[in-house]
Chains A and B, each alone.
Chain A
Amino acid sequence: MFFVLEDHNKNDYPLLYQRMFKLRKEIFADQLGWDVKLSDLGEVDVYDDCNPAYLVWTNTEKTILYGCLRLLPTTGPTLLYDVFRDTFPNNVSLTAPGIWEGTRLCIDEKALAKDHPDMGAKRAFCLMLLALCETALQFNIHTLISNYEPASKRLYNMSGAELVELGRADQYGRRPVCAGSFEVSKKVLQNMRIRLGVSHALLNNDFCNDLKKTDEPRAA
């Protein structure tokens, strides 16, 4: 089940919040070695206090977290603007209604493998992107800005989301961190659905069984 968590419904899902921050620590600090701020809660930064929306992927009961991502409007304070602006002199200061930042995209591969043993991590990543595209379309977002590791660009492209690299920086982790943007439109959504072999809406829709069709995105 993919759905959106915001301040107004966060008290309904305290366990998902707890798990999300822990998972972010496991992925970004432990695995990727990014220079992120850690606390007892896990990886939490000031932007988590800026009233973000989180796209989460859970089991049907909404008790086990498979993946998450944080969404912030670029009209307000954002991570990429504040942190990466100086590093990418040209280009990550995009600020307008309709342009949102999606950061901290991560997947809990262990939790996923337990409940969806036949789904690979790559497909899971692509399904998150597809759900992200749907979410964006629903909420008047026409462009998503994101940061990612160079290797992930291939995954974006495999999913049918055409990621444009805006710049990259070296000093944040073991590998360079890139900033990029991708267009959101009905056409892009259609393209992603075809690539991923998904024919129906993912957001707020319980469909787990349909997701197992193929393990890898189809070749371009």
Chain B
Amino acid sequence: MSAIKQHRRAGFPWLWTALAFGYVFLYAPILSLIVYSFNESRLVTVWAGFSTRWYGELMQNEQLLSAAWLSIKVAAVAATIAVVLGTLAAMTLVRFRRQWGARSMGIMVAAPLVMPEIILGLSLLLLFMSMADLIGWPASRGQGTIIMAHVTFCMAYVTVVVQSRLAYMDASLEEAAMDLGARPLKVFFTITLPVIAPSLVAGWLLAFTLSMDDLVVASFVSGPGATTLPMVVYSSVRLGVSPQINALATIIIAVVVVAVSVAGYLMYRQDKQRTNMQ
């Protein structure tokens, strides 16, 4: 016992170094982005004094703001549809594991996870084009097609997350509910859904992030008036990244930090309640 303790103490400075290195590696770039959003100069690399000028200009920049709003809208809608479809897929895969077809379906669902984005984007573009030829819908590309494309690959991630949660769920809970006379739909909403709820939230957040982040697929399937935030940022890189983008990123980071803190606090409180009950 004491030997182990000594060993641990010997490793102590290393642990701290590794931890510090990890923090710097993860957060130094974000920190520099935030610091330079308060830079007076237009050049990203030259510090010329503190100012909130870029936040003011960001509020005037209709193009950037509407792109950010479009991205948030697309991400929220796509994540929500992906959660619904992904949950259905996961239910099917876990409950009908023995059926033939379910196994191959399990593999097919994972395909978008490993498919290069550019192939996904191109194939979706071709699909939308031939659909427009055959059935006249979607007549034009834009927000709707971006949402559909994002649902396609987000769904795969949600399925994987929900599936693993479902697989470890205690089936006797559902059986007990059915024994007591609940109909399957009732069982799903009162038993299954609460048990897998954390994985739904995790899947939704994952899908939201992936959709917000996507440039390649969106630039293939978008149309007039549907320019997402990554597309605007990328197209302005040629003339140098304006500090307005730093300012926007800082705001997004602030919102995420607040949201994560609130979620963390709620989870902590729930955890405490649960231990108190026991």
Are A and B bound to each other?
no
Q: Which positions in A face B, CB cutoff 8 Å?
A: none
Q: Which positions in B face A, CB cutoff 8 Å?
A: none
